[in-house]
Amino acid sequence: MKSRFTKYGSFLTVYVLFLTIYVTLPAGLFPACAYSRDRVILTMEDCRRMAAENNNAVRNSRLDVTAAKARRGEALAEYFPQVSLNAFGFHAIDPMLRIGLKDILGNSDAAHEITSNLNDLARQRGINTEYSTLWHGYGASVSLIQPVFAGGRIVSGNRLASLGVQAAELQFSLQQRKSAEQIEEQYWQVVSLQEKMKTVEQVQTLLDTLQKDINAAVAAGVAVESDKLQVRLKMNELSSTRTKLRGGIRLAKMNLCNSIGQEYTPYSTIGTDSLPHIDSILLVSTVGRLDEPMSYYRDEEEIVDLREENRLLEISVDAKKLEKRMVLGEVLPQIGIGGTYGYGAVIGEGRFNGALFATLKIPVTEWGKYSRKLQRYECDVQKAINDRDYLHGQLLLQAREQWLDLVTCWEQIEVAEDGVEIASTSVRELSSRYKEGLVPLSDLLAAQTRLRQCTDTLTDARIAYCKALVRYRTDK
């Protein structure tokens, strides 16, 4: 029995040792594939940069910042005088103003007598007893109005517009962070499947060689036919796994490419340099060495203070207070000064003229209405304060949950590493016993399957830790 393993026992030992070393090394230690020039290589930084440029939500947030700055410019203009140019002209079919003697003297006997005498005299002298004007006219002027005091609404409006810019910039930063988190989640999903594919391909290669040796051993009569069939079954199982992984990698890549704006085609027959086939887009595995959670620990209050959500809550409270202040300004006195100068020709000869003026508006009957309005805005201020306090507590809870998730993922890595070590030891022992003819090949193949499953579990744990780290850290 022992002699039938002499021809391929040494190879089996090398195979087991190589598989054990491969699955226990950290992901990313093996060199990347030798990519050809028609392939697209993407790193994590490439994906984040492309997402920042092409992500629709990020682009819209950038436009919101521009719009908020424009609104601030609008509010700033309220400090400056309002200058306007005015012009008019008209031409009437009939004079718009007619004044006769009756209009001046009234309707009485004396007036009729005087009017009759004057009309006679006017006919003799060729004088018109009726005055008519406003047949046509024109004019142009320039006016300037400078608000002096508007109840504090101009100052409050400018402060509110500045808060709007801060809020838009925070929303833009928040959207960038969410986009980066989403992209990294999708990136790690692809990397995880690629790492599993590497394991399957390595095992497949070694099984191909093992199959050749066992076929030779069966032909030489030193191995049984069942060993040959078991290896074939294991190869079919790996082939099925590889097919599923290939489909999963393609779907994950397509999801990532859609998020970052990378063009691709799922059809290999029409792939070009500008439109690569999805299989030609490869991600660089960057799992590498992982540090324990304590190396990333930060005080939870510090984490919350750095979150854009927390600063937006503070801005929301300040904005509500300013809105209330602007309502109060509507019932305070409003003072303005101004001047106008221009040329007009409407009645008589045209001439230049100008004037200076001042305005004072004191609302008297509006206090009842606006006192109720102030009560309503005070309720909005208090609601904003309540939301800020509540959501601050929720952000603290989120920071604690993310820390616990990070610690849990690290513990799962340690458990998975222990599982890989145990499975590797089991494979080595069963390999030695199989060479001695003490255990069947099925036990060895089952142990190898468990080792591959433990390796996949370790890969999943490492990827989960990387994802948890992205969610926990606020400076990325």
Per-residue pLDDT, 443: 81
Asked if the model's pLDDT at residue 98 lies above 60, the reply is yes
- Tens-place pLDDT, residues 206-243: 778 777 877 777 777 766 777 778 888 888 888 888 89
- Tens-place pLDDT, residues 294-304: 998 988 888 89
Per-residue pLDDT, 211: 78
Cβ atoms of residues 326 and 160 within 8 Å:
yes
User: To the nearest whole number, what is the mean pLDDT of the chain?
Assistant: 82
Per-residue pLDDT, 274: 75
Q: What is the DSSP letter of 78?
A: G
Per-residue pLDDT, 476: 52
Instruction: Give percent above pLDDT 90 in the chain.
Output: 25
Reported confidence tier of residue 194, pLDDT bands at 50, 70, 90: confident
Q: How far is CA 256 from CA 41, 51, 146, 188, 285, in A?
A: 13, 10, 56, 10, 15
* Count of alpha carbons within 13 angstroms of residue 2, beta-carbon side: 3
Classify the C-alpha dihedral 273-274-280-284 as positive or negative.
positive
Q: Which residue has the higher pLDDT, 86 or 3?
A: 86
Distance CA 130, CA 452 (A): 115
Contacts of residue 259, defined as CB under 8 A and 6 or more positions apart, other chains included, come to 51, 55, 179, 182, 183, 186
Listed residue (204, 196, 258) closest to 231, CA to CA: 204
Asked if the model's pLDDT at residue 332 lies above 90, the reply is no
Classify the C-alpha dihedral 286-290-295-301 as positive or negative.
positive
Q: Which domains does the chain have, with CATH numbers?
A: 2-96+134-472 (1.20.1600.10), 99-133 (no CATH)
Per-residue pLDDT, 288: 67
Per-residue pLDDT, 198: 84
Asked if the model's pLDDT at residue 31 lies above 70, the reply is no
Per-residue pLDDT, 247: 92
Per-residue pLDDT, 164: 93
Per-residue pLDDT, 11: 39
Classify the C-alpha dihedral 70-72-78-81 as positive or negative.
negative
- Tens-place pLDDT, residues 396-438: 999 999 999 999 999 999 999 999 899 889 888 887 887 777 7
Distance CA 35, CA 280 (A): 9
Count the neighbouring beta carbons within 10 Å of the beta carbon of residue 284: 17
Q: How far is CA 88 from CA 82, 140, 355, in A?
A: 20, 6, 18
Q: How much is the pTM?
A: 0.71
Cβ atoms of residues 210 and 231 within 8 Å:
yes
Contacts of residue 49, defined as CB under 8 A and 6 or more positions apart, other chains included, come to none
Per-residue pLDDT, 115: 73
Cβ atoms of residues 285 and 191 within 8 Å:
yes
Reported confidence tier of residue 181, pLDDT bands at 50, 70, 90: confident
| 151 conformational bin, left if phi > 0, alpha if psi -120 to 50, beta if neither | left
10 Å CB burial of residue 412 (0-12, 13-18, 19+) is middle
Q: Which residue has the higher pLDDT, 1 or 217?
A: 217
Which residues sit opposite 283 in a β-bridge? 42
- Tens-place pLDDT, residues 76-91: 988 888 899 999 888 8
- Tens-place pLDDT, residues 252-288: 999 999 988 888 888 877 767 778 888 888 888 766 6
Cβ atoms of residues 39 and 223 within 8 Å:
no
- Tens-place pLDDT, residues 37-90: 468 888 888 888 898 888 888 889 999 999 999 999 989 988 888 899 999 888
* Count of alpha carbons within 13 angstroms of residue 138, beta-carbon side: 2
What backbone phi and psi angles, to 5 degrees, belong to 30? Answer: -75, 145
Asked if the model's pLDDT at residue 109 lies above 80, the reply is no
Worst-scoring range by mean pLDDT, 88-102, 122-136, 366-380, 428-442?
122-136
Cβ atoms of residues 164 and 460 within 8 Å:
no
Torsion of CA 238, 243, 245, 248, to 10 degrees: -160
| Helix (H) or strand (E) run with residue 160 in it | helix 153-220
Asked if the model's pLDDT at residue 186 lies above 80, the reply is yes
Asked if the model's pLDDT at residue 35 lies above 60, the reply is no
Q: Which residue has the higher pLDDT, 339 or 6?
A: 339
Reported confidence tier of residue 22, pLDDT bands at 50, 70, 90: very low
Asked if the model's pLDDT at residue 21 lies above 50, the reply is no
